Amino acid sequence: MDDYPPESHPIWIAYCRQLTQSHVFDIDDFLCGRIAPLELMEGLGDMTDVLLGLANHVIEDYNEKEYNVFKYKVKKIEKVNCSPATDAYYMTVKVLNLTLGTPIETFQIHAGTL
């Protein structure tokens, strides 16, 4: 925080609080944040397809676990936070419960380096 003017300290405190409280999955777009929301829009190009493929892979892997009674299918990626420094992505994904045929559920997926 020493690199920024004192008036930005409350913003940094709010940013750090959101990171901690949401485990990086639900943060606002702070100017100069180290982790920021990644907008999933057409202008993002192939990255949307890559992230959707990654989400599908994770859910398919989850479905293959013997102890998981319920099976899921990715409906859409609702939100992605990205840490460019570590190539880590924190995705909030809406899925269908294929086993119960119930309404949409939410999964949170961390993909990238630890």
**pLDDT (0 to 100) of residue 82:** 78
**pLDDT (0 to 100) of residue 59:** 93
In terms of phi and psi (left: phi > 0; alpha: psi -120 to 50; beta: otherwise), the region of 66 is alpha
Residue 4 and residue 7: Cα distance in Å, rounded? 8
The HSE-up count of residue 60 (CA atoms within 13 Å, CB side) is: 6
Q: How many CB atoms lie within 10 A of CB 59?
A: 19
Provide the β-strand partners of residue 82.
Answer: 36, 89
Whole-structure pTM value: 0.71
Could you state, in chain order, the average pLDDT of each consecutive group of 10 residues for the chain (114 residues)? 69 76 72 58 65 91 87 90 77 92 87 66
Residue 47 and residue 78: Cα distance in Å, rounded? 14
DSSP H stretches of helix in 29-73: 46-64
